[in-house]
Structure 1
Amino acid sequence: MNQKILSYTANQKTFHIQHTEIMRGVFAPNKTLANALLRPNGLEFLVNQSDFFNNGHTLYIDFADEIPGSIMNEDFARYCSWPYFNDKIKKSFKSIQSNAYSYGLKRGAPFGIPLEINPPLTDQTQISAIGIYKDEEFLVLEILGIDNITPPFYELQYMHNSIKKYIYTEKTKKKRLSNQEKQEDYILNEKDGERSREDTNQPAMDLDPIQIAFRHSTVVTRIPKQV
């Protein structure tokens, strides 16, 4: 499979980073954002409504329902808002899908389409990585962290369907009556060969997420929806 590689020189050393590793390290901390990479205007489908107020220091954003509630937390809201409201970063995010589409139209895809990104990194960005170093050249194998990222806001207020505000009343609880008169015992999978079994030999691996450090702290507030 073809791979695009970014090469640059810093401090008299040459660094080589695969484009796919830049995408994974910068734009794909979870499955939701990874799927949005190859979707036209993928970031737009993750946000229902947004607005700046308080002289541009405070951002309000209403996230779409397709974002799972299991990942909808302050870290995701802060991280997702960064590429959405930074024009340079957003342009780099969109370049992945546009480059893949353009490559497919011009050359076809008999052996797959090599993913290519217009790098969003600047001279002030600091990257922590592991790789192979030899003869003043460094091949990056995995990006561990990115530092010195500047979000375009100081306060973030976000809303999502998973954040609900429950209003309690003193009324009696509703009860649902069952039409079944008596309990019955059911036997599932009587045959031993058809019973489901737990695969205890399946390997499990926990991977640490990439560390993203913003230049200034952000106050994040959850806004619940009334139920």
Structure 2
Amino acid sequence: MDILLVGGAWLDTSAWSEVVPELEALGHRPVPVALPGQGDGSTSATLDDQVAAVLAAVDAADGKPLVVGHSAACTLAWLAADARPEELAGVALVGGFPWDDGKPYADLFEITDGVMPFPGWGPFEGPDSADLSDAAKRAFADAAVPVPEGVARGVVHLTDERRFDVPVVVVCPEFTAAQARQWIDAGDVPELARAKHVDLVDLDSGHWPMFTRPAELARLLADAISR
């Protein structure tokens, strides 16, 4: 099956370089999705541009793909479910949750000169980054792609309630499946509270398991397909 891999803020397609061969070894065709404004040198890209890139990958897939969103891109994966509810095998959300309608996509940190640069490791001290070595942190920061303002502050628009029929797997790295269930049941994640098929799976890692647990992440994504 085609597995579309959509990276979160500051990541380009190289973030999936260690996950791709693991998925191939498990018999799947992984496709890292190139997002406008995250690796192509553009600072004028918008959220609509990124949604269009994900949908183009869905439309080009062989059969119904699994769409994987990491962190902020969990919302991109969910927007794909909203736009193509009958064309997806499912959605996997890694280390995050989808925003609901009307929320800004990733207005998380200061915008400087039209982009949201990586803010350094201060905001991510603790479970998010505990499994990253100092060398890995330096490499991440050096490679981090500033997110265009038009992406970070783009407004999420959801229109098709058939998205709630799309199967969802939430991969829980720096938080636990039990915590995620509490948040969903408390109404903190309204989109998943309404989704009809949600599985929660634990992964013992920080926020970026594609760097620290690529084989384990690949196995969980393959398991998501078997569900």
TM-score, normalised to structure 2, is 0.24
Report the structure, 1 or 2, having the larger strand content.
1
Query: Counting helix residues as a fraction of each chain, which structure ranks higher?
Result: 2
